[in-house]
Amino acid sequence: EPEVTQTPSHQVTQMGQEVILRCVPISNHLYFYWYRQILGQKVEFLVSFYNNEISEKSEIFDDQFSVERPDGSNFTLKIRSTKLEDSAMYFCASSDPQQPQQETQYFGPGTRLLVL
């Protein structure tokens, strides 16, 4: 069964450093998403991406965040200057191109980011 993969599984960084979280969505999917989940809290939508541009973004997704699809397979989330409160699990997801609003989102296993 096809799956979304994410690397690294864990990342520890110093406050103020830049991090790049990587995702490989399912190959025929065209809609991609990033979510975060702070420990003990709910899953929060960050951004959706389609056709090489941001489709929607939340209030959380401010100027320190950016997304990119640098090649045909990877989808990345960059956090430019990390803060302590960025510590969370970051999930990537992708969905089928035909009915993105109705179709299943497949989630990757997540990257646990710890900012010290």
Partner 1 sequence: RKEVEQDPGPFNVPEGATVAFNCTYSNSASQSFFWYRQDCRKEPKLLMSVYSSGNEDGRFTAQLNRASQYISLLIRDSKLSDSATYLCVVNDNFNKFYFGSGTKLNVKP
User: Considering only residues 20, 24, 60, 107, which one is a binding residue for partner 1 as defined by CB under 8 A?
Assistant: 107
Q: How far apart are CA 112 and CA 12, in angstroms?
A: 8
Is residue 31 a contact point for partner 1 (CB under 8 A)? yes
What residues from 83 to 102 belong to the interface with partner 1 (CB under 8 A)?
A: 89, 91, 100-102
The percent helix, strand, coil of the chain (3-state, each to 5) is 5, 50, 45
Is the Cβ of residue 33 or residue 65 nearer to partner 1 in the bound state? Answer: 33
What is the spatial distance between Cα 90 and Cα 111, in angstroms, rounded to a whole number? 5
Please identify, using beta-carbon distances, which residue of 14 and 62 lies nearer to partner 1: 62
